[in-house]
Structure 1
Amino acid sequence: MKGTRAAGRRNRLAAVTGTVKVLAVCVLFLTAQFGPIAQASARSPADAASPTDTAVAQAVDDSRSYILDSPNRTGDHWASNISMGGLRPWDLRYTIEYALVLERLGIDSESKRRAVEYVLQRRQPDGGWNDTIANYAGLLLLSELDGEYQAERRAIRSELDRANASLVDVEAETPRDEIFLYRTRLFYTLMDERRSAGELFPNETLKELPGLLLLTPAFEGEFSPTDHAVNHNALDTMISLNVLSLEVRSNVSTDEEDAKEALTEVLLKRRQTSGAWATAFDTMYAVLALHEAGYEVDDDPIRIATRWLEENRQAPSGRFVAFRTPVWDTAWTVQALTSSGLSPDNETVKDAAQWLVDARTTTNVYRTRRNLTLDRPPLPFRSHYGHGWSYKPELQSNWGETAVVTRTLAPYDEMVVADSVTFLFDVQNEDGTWSTWSTDFDPLNESEQSDLREELDRGLYRTLFGDEPVPGTNGHVLMSLGAHGYTVENNASVRAAVDYLLGARDRTEMWPAKWGVRYTYGTSRVIQGLVGVGVDPNRPEIQEAAAALVERQNPDGGWGEGILEGGTFPGWDDAQYLSAPSTPEQTAWALQALLAAGYSPDHPAVRAGVQYLLDTQRPDGSWAASPVMYQGAPPTYVDEAWTQAAALLALSAYADAAGVDTSPDRPGPADESLPVPPWLVANLLVLAVAVAIVVRLREQP
């Protein structure tokens, strides 16, 4: 009986096992036939975004969130505390000068204490600041302060001795170093009784720098603020240095005394309505000049200006802030936010747009809202003064800033925009180009030009007495005009500018710029401007420039470009692309250029550039800012708000080209977890039945 039951059980098990094997074969067959199809269907782009698209959309979200909550945002606009970069300690030098001015004025304030603390924190433990000019200026500062700084002074002197340096004989390496050195010697002449103008300025060199003003027709007779020969952005400081040089000299003629009084009066008239001058530097030197000319610290011109510096031009660290560019920062930020999908009707964006409208140079609203001090417009310096924007409210307008803001305001105030577009055409040079600050600026006759060119470095001559057209600025203007419907087909002024740009490349096959370093930024602005006014992106000039950018892409996928800091000021014909480590800003500019030139978002250079931006974005959604802003010559500047706007603009342009939705109100990401397919459910049920049968049979005797 036992043998019979065992044999029966073996037969039943064999039958069930055979059945299970058949079922298993069926399962394998179904899996092989339908599994891959179902898996492929679940992973198709229709159901889930590719990792790159998801990463780009997330990066845009994070960037937008950071910008909206950025520390650079001040109420209804954005503005960075701009710092200086490059090989020299520009911020340190200016902060020392600021502390020296306050010390000379006898102002013992918290602002001065913070500036001194900033300076001391950056000193090497066994010496000074590894910079001869900063060492001499800092040594004078510590010698004038009430405090125990003997050890610090000894260490600084030791560093100067090791370098065999002399304040009289030290030679400046660059023109800007020469200007710093000139001012340092002026401070010593004013504040150190052991030093005289005759010692520190031998051979009449005290007259040379500010005396350039007197070589021009601007001071023949009564000074004309709208017809002077020196470029406006150098004028205020030049006047201040002239006043100071006349104060410290011992052999001043009667005519020179009269000139000093006239210059002082002009300096007072050139204040902005805030009571300060055009820039923080101008304000600092103007205050010192007025003090030496006899004004007291409690007199309004000095009291108001020093308060403005303390409240507006000092970072929390104590650093003297070189510039703040709220108009520039706000305009680019608004463009970046709207390009990323934020509606122009968003309240934050609308408030910023209104701030830009109010900040126009000729607008009285800004003065009223800010309750500023001087109830008058600032003294104009040229015939084309207003109707545009500068990098900060109330400053004389420039064409690049006006173009950027006019493009930003396109969705808003039609009257203001139309007026500003007309203004851009009004300030176009006769040859169809745009300069930066002025129109057809050619103030000197051939004899005067020859004399000054012998006196000055080429780049310094251009800075003081020229305002040449720059391709990057012309790109800005065309970007704006194109956004308002002006093209090569319907406007002769646009055609003239396009003709200029198509012939303005140099041997790099690219275009240079002011404001951003240098060929990367210029080429980006020009390509976008040309395409924006209807130029075929397949034109050889555009494609060759784009290819030149691709050739200079770094192995990490980004772009980086530097500038020469030694020797002369670079001119626009100094055609060198200086490769440098990648930066987020320059990578963003290059990507914008390539996409505008028609490169596919799948092009390897574009994808690598986008990946670089994704890889370098920080957890809070921002990118590290780099010193890539400049005015055509050293130093370079770090503008954190501009950095964030540039990166967001580039990612948004890529997303638009690749069809990636980055709007903040887009549907949430699809559930990327794979659903359980029906074929798998059926297979599992079959296996479950088979297992149950086997278990049941094993339980039977």
Structure 2
Amino acid sequence: MTVTVQSGVEDVDDDKVRDALAKAVAHLMELQDDAGWWKGELETNVTMDAEDLLFREFLGIRTEEQTQASARWIRANQREDGTWATFKDGPADLSVTIEAYVALKLAGHDPGAKHMTAAAEFIREGGGIANARVFTRFWLAFFGWYSWDDLPVLPPEIVFLPKWFPLNVYDFACWARQTIVPLTIVSSLRPVRPAPFPLAELRPTRDVPGRKDADDPWSKVFRALDAVLHQYQKHPVRPLRKTAMRKAAQWIIERQEADGGWGGIQPPWVYSLIALRLMGYPLNHPVMAQGIKGLDGFTIVDTDEDGELRRRFEACQSPVWDTGLTLVALRDAGVPAADPRVVKAAEWLMDEEIREIGDWAVRRPDLEPGGWAFEFANDWYPDTDDTAEIVMALRYTDHPDGARKAAVLDRAERWTAGMRSKDGGWGAFDADNVSVLPLKLPFSDFGAVTDPPSADVTAHIVEMLADGGPRYSSYVVDGVKWLMEHQESDGSWFGRWGANYVYGTGAVVPALVTAGVDPRHSAIRRAVRWLETKQNPDGGWGEDLRSYADPEGWSGRGESTASQTAWALLALHAAGEFGEIAQRGITWLTDRQNASGGWDEPQFTGTGFPGDFYIKYHMYRLVFPVMALGRYAETTG
């Protein structure tokens, strides 16, 4: 069957769509682990690899083999101008370039080599080390390359602040909280290991510019407070400081996960190990040994074109998220719910349900646990976004133990609904994590340190609750209202965890329609018009990650990608749009499918911290096109 488009655009052959879909599904099935899960690589920038080497240097466990293998990966990602970026083809980043340069020097690269002198020149012109972000300066302070006196003070006494007091640790997002607590120990002890070499060549050739928020009243207050804390740092109340550090260490140890890590992400993991080492824990202590060993599971080793080993470090891993998305894609592709591979995935997911109470209970103490985390092991921090996706995935599956499945779904629905914030929206990990004060701290130069409700997360939850029937209708109504109130003036929605307005719009429109909003509603029509204006001449959609810093210049604008084209098509499909615009998008996907059944996507389309840290999910380029093609094929049948 061929769908004819009156505009003169080349007709879309539905047989070609179904063939592409079948090839993609077959490829997905090949990627399933024997245990039932799917997991694609989660690729970030080379700071992960540089910091891994500096971490091992600090603990005295770095090997030459590790160093050279990591250095090859770092060098392979350097651009012709000598710099590194936070995402492919992004602007040169000072902090990433500093850390990469130091790592290569640690690996023995000659500072006089062309690629090193180019990097050093960029660093000098960018203001040198003093102009780097706080985390970079912390790593350099560990070796005396930067003064602790010039870093913000993080007093461990913060652990004594009650949960209602401003700037207590639970005012920060879980990822920031888990990083700050160990850094309070580090900041207090101010360790300096012997520097393996000087970095005099990185001295700036210009003055360091002042902070962008220099005139913000709260920022001025906290800078003044930081000056006071620097004085207190010199003469702390010794018994109080000692007790605070012990309490912080205990807080850290209590939150170590089964895989040896903390929160399933790199920053709190390595800082927690450093903090505990400084507190006197030997490397062979079970907590330390398990933590160091667990890092191996986040390390990928392959070979370059010359057959030399390359080593790179994943900042995080996404098996639960990838498995949930894959099941939804298989549902959309028409794979039977009783397919053994689907049932095996459902069984694995139900085994991964988190029944323990985590930090989320600080704000929701009476809520029964029942959700999922992003990673293999992160029981302290399940998140609402993963849970919403898993619920929709499990509903589709025909698991033989129907009673168990129903109980799991019931707990997850109640937990997710209960994690709603007071304004009617949902954040990812915590409810009502909306304080603006943490953003004003001198420490907070890395973007997202709180976890307020976002359009993409709220949309996924609204879609999940609405799809489950009328039980949570009041939550759905409030969520829809929240989404309507947060639509951008141009008709799009902001994407917190994916790039960016295309991701947000691709999540919100299907959610609104599932919730009962008429596709003819003005909000949906405005979203459709926005997507139409953002379609590239080649028929696809793309959005550069610079849209977070410069939405006016980059919103919905960028080289076409498979995942972002699919997000746009999911929104258009939900809105009932099957004409020329959608047809061109479908054609873009079918024409660009590779021989394996997937799609090539070198671009980063995932977000860790808007403006600062981005992710290339290797599964996105496969699961989202399957969803889009599957829904199109089912509708046009």
Which range, TM-score by smaller chain? Answer: 0.7 to 0.9
Give the 3 Å change call, closer, same or farther, for CA 563–168 of structure 1 in structure 2. Answer: closer
Matches within 5 A, 1:133-152: 133=95, 136-138=98-100, 140-141=102-103, 149=108, 151=110
Identify the residue that residue 382 of structure 1 maps to in structure 2. 362
Identify the residue that residue 328 of structure 2 maps to in structure 1. 335
What amino acid is the match of 2:607? Y
Identify the residue that residue 241 of structure 1 maps to in structure 2. 183
Identify the residue that residue 260 of structure 1 maps to in structure 2. 245
Partner of residue 616 from structure 2, selected from 638, 663, 678 = 638
**Is residue 220 of structure 1 aligned with residue 202 of structure 2?**
no
| Cα offset, 1:402, TM superposition | 1.0
CA distance in 1: counterparts of 2:395 and 2:43, whole angstroms: 31
What amino acid is the match of 1:522? G
**Is residue 624 of structure 1 aligned with residue 600 of structure 2?**
yes
Identify the residue that residue 431 of structure 1 maps to in structure 2. 423
> In the TM superposition, what whole-angstrom CA distance separates every residue of 1:428-455 from its partner, at most 9, and x where no partner exists?
223322222212235x6xxxx56x5554
**Is residue 513 of structure 1 aligned with residue 513 of structure 2?**
no
| Cα offset, 1:187, TM superposition | 3.0
**Is residue 303 of structure 1 aligned with residue 289 of structure 2?**
yes
| Cα offset, 1:303, TM superposition | 1.0
Give the 3 Å change call, closer, same or farther, for CA 223–604 of structure 1 in structure 2. Answer: closer
Matches within 5 A, 1:243-642: 243-248=185-190, 251=234, 253=236, 254=238, 255-278=240-263, 279-316=265-302, 317-362=310-355, 382-384=362-364, 386-395=369-378, 396-411=381-396, 412=399, 413-442=405-434, 454-455=440-441, 463-464=448-449, 466-486=450-470, 491-564=473-546, 577-600=555-578, 603-625=579-601, 626-631=603-608, 633=610, 634-642=612-620
Give the conservation status (yes or no) of the 8 Å contact 1:516–1:630.
Answer: yes
Give the conservation status (yes or no) of the 8 Å contact 1:95–1:319.
Answer: yes
Unaligned runs of 5+ in 1: 1-41, 85-89, 190-194, 364-376, 660-701
Structure 2 SS opposite 1:541: helix
CA distance in 1: counterparts of 2:388 and 2:163, whole angstroms: 34
Structure 1 SS opposite 2:516: coil
CA distance in 2: counterparts of 1:588 and 1:231, whole angstroms: 30
Give the 3 Å change call, closer, same or farther, for CA 437–308 of structure 1 in structure 2. Answer: same
Structure 2 SS opposite 1:510: coil
Give the 3 Å change call, closer, same or farther, for CA 537–144 of structure 1 in structure 2. Answer: closer
CA distance in 1: counterparts of 2:82 and 2:430, whole angstroms: 46
Identify the residue that residue 79 of structure 1 maps to in structure 2. 39
CA distance in 2: counterparts of 1:424 and 1:575, whole angstroms: 36
Identify the residue that residue 87 of structure 1 maps to in structure 2. none
Give the 3 Å change call, closer, same or farther, for CA 252–426 of structure 1 in structure 2. Answer: same
What amino acid is the match of 1:103? E
CA distance in 2: counterparts of 1:656 and 1:277, whole angstroms: 42
| Cα offset, 1:65, TM superposition | 0.9
Identify the residue that residue 55 of structure 2 maps to in structure 1. 101
Give the conservation status (yes or no) of the 8 Å contact 1:271–1:378.
Answer: no
Give the conservation status (yes or no) of the 8 Å contact 1:102–1:112.
Answer: no
Structure 1 SS opposite 2:324: helix
Identify the residue that residue 88 of structure 2 maps to in structure 1. none
| Cα offset, 1:538, TM superposition | 1.1
CA distance in 2: counterparts of 1:222 and 1:528, whole angstroms: 37
Identify the residue that residue 60 of structure 1 maps to in structure 2. 21
CA distance in 2: counterparts of 1:227 and 1:262, whole angstroms: 13
> In the TM superposition, what whole-angstrom CA distance separates every residue of 1:74-131 from its partner, at most 9, and x where no partner exists?
63101112112xxxxx2x2210110121222222555555324433555689978686
Identify the residue that residue 152 of structure 2 maps to in structure 1. 207
CA distance in 1: counterparts of 2:493 and 2:536, whole angstroms: 19
Unaligned runs of 5+ in 2: 5-10, 85-91, 192-232, 303-309, 400-404
CA distance in 2: counterparts of 1:550 and 1:43, whole angstroms: 23
**Is residue 186 of structure 1 aligned with residue 141 of structure 2?**
yes
| Number of residue-to-residue matches in the alignment | 557
| Cα offset, 1:259, TM superposition | 2.8
Q: Identity across aligned pairs (percent)?
A: 22
CA distance in 2: counterparts of 1:417 and 1:120, whole angstroms: 47
The RMSD of aligned alpha carbons is 3.5
Return the TM-score normalized by structure 1: 0.72
CA distance in 2: counterparts of 1:43 and 1:152, whole angstroms: 61
CA distance in 2: counterparts of 1:495 and 1:505, whole angstroms: 16
> In the TM superposition, what whole-angstrom CA distance separates every residue of 1:668-699 from its partner, at most 9, and x where no partner exists?
xxxxxxxxxxxxxxxxxxxxxxxxxxxxxxxx
Identify the residue that residue 158 of structure 1 maps to in structure 2. 117
Structure 2 SS opposite 1:560: coil
Structure 2 SS opposite 1:77: coil
| Cα offset, 1:420, TM superposition | 1.3
Structure 1 SS opposite 2:507: helix
